[in-house]
Structure 1
């Protein structure tokens, strides 16, 4: 079955991996993108625009022209600035769905959510989708509002929407504001020392290639999972310090690092995260398959070879 697929945030970390996978998995499909920079991305058509009221006419015309049957909403900003988080993560989602209503386009809508929507998780506990949603920062709060809005619109039959709550996707070409992105940039630039926040935290790191496979499974099952919120993680927490040490080892450099035990404002209240992925296995017919060593090898090869 052919699709018209629209990917927002198509030039970001998740978006670029999604586009690359879609062009391989659905070679005959039409794939569109909306982002600030779409020129260097392989698309059927692209729109350079942010999802804001200022650009609503452009966005409406673009969607009415192409009438996507699937939207993968990757656009968003990882920030603890309350106004920016609200505008980029919640208001942008509302605007996109409002445009769909105006254009009378009923489609599958895959919302990329975040584990930051959950309350702090007790040590050694796996968190399922029924766990309390008490975000500890502006980013998590804005993502939660967007997730609940997508769920509400799905129940009203305005869209066939599903929220995939990603835990900590890692892979090649990560943003420099992330631990992996910052580390890889520093190694590539030949720095001898780098400073991090608190690395004594545990996160459910999942290979971005496994995340993309989950997104493709959601496309294939969208009618059956409309209205659902589904965790996408590896199901196994790893110490963040191990992530840093393993990448350094794979890079074969002698870079050193220091730690600030206070951590960042965005994540210092979260010491432990581990996903229960039973729902993803059941509803998406998906489970992660890429082992930790292959993830580290892929990051190293894509950044240091």
Structure 2
């Protein structure tokens, strides 16, 4: 089975690629912007006709689209998350109409959840910012394409290689730089929100299951941890894991996008039924692996970009 991974060098894409490489009977094809890939492409600027020619030459049985933008201005987000998905669908309809498309969406498409409740795939979509809105536009492009396609609405992915731009990856690197300095003070934004964290390796496993399953798959599936965790708990767990001896100060503020969503939790029943999937790794496992990936390299080492939901980050940034 020939499976093409787009965005293969990103946070989620690299884990999907690794998982496929360990899957028997699969030949993994690499799609990225860098030279040397099986398909050199930037979906933000790609033209459907030329992309179709390249896809026809590769003849994939399935495509996993991990390409996406998590930050930047609304135009950049729209070019990658919305236009990119639409161009990919148009090219696949022409070049490989029978190939299965697995597209990584985001729980941010749902918008604010109601405290204590989980959201199913049938819940209304009410994104509160350009990121969620452009991811939703990408989902609509995929689900209305007529292709054999499924959108995995990913929660907040965390684990080894988490990007520095987001809270878990950024905080891990700040704690690493601090070392054993007991006078170090790390100031963060408001940590009172609840998020559905899911290990990036569990997300990769879901993507592979969706790409290789011979039976039809529902058009949208939630892929999350299945429980809401207060962001403050994530910070405390990572601090313990790192053995940080300094002080954490919660200064308030943070990104407006994250502040608008106080609760986020996905119902993952449908993914369990359709794919036989459920998360295997808990938050402590994810943060231990994240810390090992950071502490094993030089301080301040940058992480890789990825895809998923939004959460307040140091300095007002966000992680999907």
Q: TM-score, normalised by structure 1?
A: 0.89
Q: Which residue of structure 1 aligns with residue 259 of structure 2?
A: 268
Q: RMSD of the alignment, in Å? A: 2.0
Q: Tell me if 1:229 matches 2:229.
A: no
In 1, Cα distance between the equivalents of 2:258 and 2:49? 37
Q: Which residue of 60, 68, 77 maps to 1:76?
A: 68
User: Structure 1 residues 293 and 204, CA, compared in 2 at 3 Å: closer, same or farther?
Assistant: same
In 2, Cα distance between the equivalents of 1:119 and 1:99? 30
Deviation at 1:104, TM superposition (A): 4.6
1:162–1:229 CA contact under 8 A, matched in 2: yes
Deviation at 1:9, TM superposition (A): 0.9
Q: Which residue of 11, 14, 17 maps to 1:16?
A: 14
Q: Which residue of structure 2 aligns with residue 150 of structure 1?
A: 142
Q: TM-score, normalised by structure 2?
A: 0.85
Which fold has the larger relative contact order, with Cα–Cα distance below 8 Å and residues 6 or more apart in sequence? Answer: 2
Deviation at 1:297, TM superposition (A): 1.9
Q: Which residue of structure 2 aligns with residue 259 of structure 1?
A: 250
1:80–1:137 CA contact under 8 A, matched in 2: no
Q: Which residue of structure 2 aligns with residue 200 of structure 1?
A: 192
Q: Tell me if 1:33 matches 2:25.
A: no
**1:12-47 CA distance string (max 9 Å, x none):** 100001111110123x422122223366xxxxx533
User: Structure 1 residues 131 and 12, CA, compared in 2 at 3 Å: closer, same or farther?
Assistant: same
Deviation at 1:172, TM superposition (A): 0.8
Secondary structure of the corresponding residue to residue 276 of structure 2: coil
Q: Tell me how many residue pairs correspond in the alignment.
A: 292
Secondary structure of the corresponding residue to residue 275 of structure 1: coil
In 1, Cα distance between the equivalents of 2:112 and 2:214? 30
In 1, Cα distance between the equivalents of 2:35 and 2:144? 31
Q: List gaps (5 residues or longer) in structure 2.
A: 297-320
Q: List gaps (5 residues or longer) in structure 1.
A: 40-44
Q: Tell me if 1:138 matches 2:138.
A: no
